[in-house]
Amino acid sequence: MNKAALAMLGALAGVLMHVGAASAQTAPAAATTPSRLDEIMSRGTLRACTTGDYKPYSFYKGDGQFEGIDIDMAESLAKSLGVKVEFVKTSWSNLMNDFVAKCDIGIGGVSPTLERQKRAFFTQAYMIDGKTPIVRCDDVNKFQTVAQIDQPPTRVIVNPGGTNEKFAKQYFPHANVTVYPDNVTIFKQILAGKADVMVTDASETLLQQKLNPGLCSVHPDKPFQYGEKAWLLPRGDVAFQQYVDQWLHLARATGEYQVISDKWLK
């Protein structure tokens, strides 16, 4: 290669290096994706949507006070972040809308479903659960299977807006299904003889049979279908999801979750 060609290449390289340096100086810094994690710590509060009608996970005592497994766990999560919890009362029918509009987490015995997954992320599951009947103890043998329950004389009672209502409408088309608005007093309806059976999560039936002598959970160790409990998180926020999942993993590994669970279930 002659000297003229070498000189031309050297000049071209110098021009390209100058353009590259100028571009690097004027290019904007790489954007950092904002996360609810940072927002919560800056705000000083963790907003938790919960229905407050689902023992042992979440129960509203009045005057803004809640109690239950998920309430204690939310307090623990908030402590790990150095913030306080603000509980936002909602209903099963309005849970998703309220969560998206008002809250950082959705808690209180929430079952992961594909429909909910369209609008939110979920944490890892912290409990395996499933639907099982609760009936008057004298009727345990009468309501062992879906087929036994799905009969015209059977009075099925269910709370509105959640997976219990969805399950009842799907599997009991021939039974007499009543939607009862109060998930706290609904079990008294069975005791009073105004309904025969409710199908809900096995963990709830185990607690309610303790709270309501005369009611019995039907094969809670063998529920009708597989289910889980997890928390709702903002869709797309991977940083916040990873933080909450890691916190939950450590709470389970260290025994903190088991202590809280035993407090309400034993």
Q: Which two tokens stand for residue 238?
A: 């991977």
Domain locations along the chain: 36-128+228-265, 131-217
- What is the band of 6 on the pLDDT scale with cuts at 50, 70, 90? very low
Provide the whole-model pTM. Answer: 0.78
Give me the pLDDT at residue 150, please.
Answer: 98
Are the folds of 36-128+228-265 and 131-217 the same?
yes
CATH fold of 36-128+228-265, please? D-Maltodextrin-Binding Protein; domain 2 (3.40.190)
- Class of 131-217 in CATH: alpha beta
Residue-wise pLDDT tens digits, 51-102: 999 999 999 999 889 999 999 999 999 999 999 999 999 999 999 999 999 9
Percent of the chain with pLDDT over 70: 88
The beta-strand segments (E) located in 43-149 are 45-50, 53-54, 58-62, 65-67, 84-89, 105-106, 120-122, 127-129, 131-136
DSSP-based three-state secondary structure for 247: helix
Q: How much is the pLDDT for 183?
A: 87
Provide the residue count of the chain: 266
Question: Counting Cβ atoms within 10 Å, is residue 73 exposed (0-12), middle (13-18) or buried (19+)?
Answer: buried
